[in-house]
Amino acid sequence: MKCLWCENENTEQTACTGYWELPDGTRAVEITIIPSVSCPSCGMEYQEDHIVDEIEDQLMLIDTKRIDASISYTDLMSIPRFLKKNYFKL
């Protein structure tokens, strides 16, 4: 996989921690063990767009009041949704 920042071909799959603001803007949550990309050349660690979209859709479609200050990616994605998909997304 090619690094989106420096275009080095030697990226590695890893897991990182990230922070997301909830859709209602009331607070942010720590999300741990997010599937991520790490580049040993430039040092960037980032999540691919489809992972970011999955997280944002999930946060839009669940009861975020039940989420603690920290949650793992797997636990977040396993929370039942109110709707099957994000109908607000274009």
36-85 pLDDT, tens digit per residue, is 999 999 999 999 999 999 999 999 999 999 899 999 999 999 999 987 77
In a domain, 7, yes or no: no
Where b means 16+ CB within 10 Å and e means fewer, 9-39 reads eebeeeebebebeeeeeeeebebebbebbeb
Task: Give the global pTM.
Answer: 0.87
Rounded distance, CA 14 to CA 38, Å? 6
Q: Structurally, how many domains does the chain consist of?
A: 1
- Does a structural domain hold residue 19? yes
Domain for residue 47, yes or no? Answer: yes
Would 43 be classed as within a structural domain?
Answer: yes
Biggest CA-to-CA distance, the chain: 42
Question: Domain range for residue 67?
Answer: 12-78
